[in-house]
Structure 1
Amino acid sequence: MDISLSRVHQQEGEFGISLLEILVVMMIVSILSYLSIPAYQHFTYQRQLLHSVRETIAFLSYQQQQALLFNVRIKITLLLSPNNKIIATPLHSRHLSEQQDIFQLASGIQLKQSTVSNFTFGGIRQTLKPMSFVLHSVEGEVKIIISSLGRIRACSQSMKAFSSC
């Protein structure tokens, strides 16, 4: 009778989870979490920079299209870090309001350097001096280049989403 009771007790104990097993699983989960958090932060910073570059190009393209559509000149002013703003001002327009359009970069993204501080999208001809400026974040830099014909493109040495400069 004692033998059968001890066997029943052993069988019941085999189906449970020991404290040591729980600690081992918790240790493995904590190590994996510790290793994945920096990779996730790197990914989110890269996505934030990519999104800011796309928004900046969209803002500039919109201003360029407005200048072409209404045959007006729109002055673009780049305010470098710490302001990190791009300001578009229509010059002498009957069709557009005289208000400035202000584009503020996301936090963590800086407008680092620029070949010029002001340039103008100018009506139908759309000719201007070639220029570029750099958006910088923790994860890298992206250069936005505007050609003399007004083509806007981005390049980067560190981000694979863009062609290299």
Structure 2
Amino acid sequence: MKIKKRLWISVAIVISVLMLFLGIEYNNKLAFSTGPEEVLYHSDENTYSIQQIVHQETFSEDKYAYILFLTEDKKPEDSIVLAEFKKTSTGWELKGMVLNSLEGLQTVGDGNNRTLYGLSPSDVETVKLGERSAQLFSIGENKKKIWFIYKPTKKELDLLPIFYNKEGQKLS
């Protein structure tokens, strides 16, 4: 009888300690994942230096967020990173990062067809894929611009972006 009682007490202690550690881990995760930007700065998975955040957007209906930021590869402001985040029951988690050189960047998707983005000339005011206008963000001191589309359609994935200047004239 004493052995059974000791066994039950030991099991109860082990379960209590395990639940205590899980609770502490859950609280730590919540503390550091209050938003995608905090996760980006505190994640061990981010191996890139953050020179400038170009754009951050959260799509709450899909529980996804994206941060575009400049990083330093060989010289300042020569590469851009798209970081993807997913909201889970314990907070925001970094799902992946894609590094692209600004010199060779044309049109890039995230691999999951949730985003499409690329580099545009500095004199561009509007970027369109079909009838849809992309968001446009100036980056760095050289005033390059990045365009960004969330949830492109299958048709849009096959189109090339069309660039327009201030006067609405199509640029070649």
Tell me if both proteins adopt one fold, taking TM over 0.5 as the criterion.
Answer: no
Highest RCO, 1 vs 2 (Cα 8 Å, sep ≥ 6): 1
Larger Rg: 1
Give 1 or 2: higher strand fraction. Answer: 2
* Structure with greater proportional helix content: 1
| TM-score after normalising by structure 1 | 0.36
Structure 2 length-normalised TM: 0.35
